[in-house]
């Protein structure tokens, strides 16, 4: 079934590849992006966990850490 509008997902296909587990990212082992680093630093400060900010994290590790800190700070809810 195709969606009538290319920006719409078919209702019969609830699974989308837009979100993947960071463990399955092809580029997950690469260094985190500048945007991730900036956001992670902000979140770690807001959460009172400056040790959570680590410049050596991979993209996948940074994504997981961001998810954890969002839960702590209430951001991204």
Phi, psi dihedral angles at 56 (to 5 degrees): -90, 5
* Token pair for 51: 């040790």
Domain housing 69: 31-73
Domain-located, residue 5: no
Q: pLDDT tens across 63-75, in order?
A: 999 999 999 999 8
Number of domains observed in the structure of the chain? 1
Q: In angstroms, what CA-CA distances link 71 with 8, 13, 15, 17, 23?
A: 29, 28, 24, 23, 19
Domain-located, residue 14: no
Domain-located, residue 12: no
What does pTM read for this prediction? 0.69
Query: Which stretches of the chain score pLDDT less than 70?
Result: 1-18, 77
Domain-located, residue 13: no
């Amino acid at each position: 079934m195709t969606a009538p509008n290319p920006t719409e997902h078919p209702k019969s296909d609830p699974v989308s590849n837009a979100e993947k587990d960071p463990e399955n990212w092809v580029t997950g082992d690469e260094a985190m992006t500048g945007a991730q680093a900036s956001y992670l630093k902000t979140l770690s400060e807001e959460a009172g966990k400056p040790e959570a900010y680590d410049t050596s994290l991979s993209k996948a590790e940074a994504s997981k850490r961001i998810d954890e800190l969002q839960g702590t700070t209430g951001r991204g809810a």
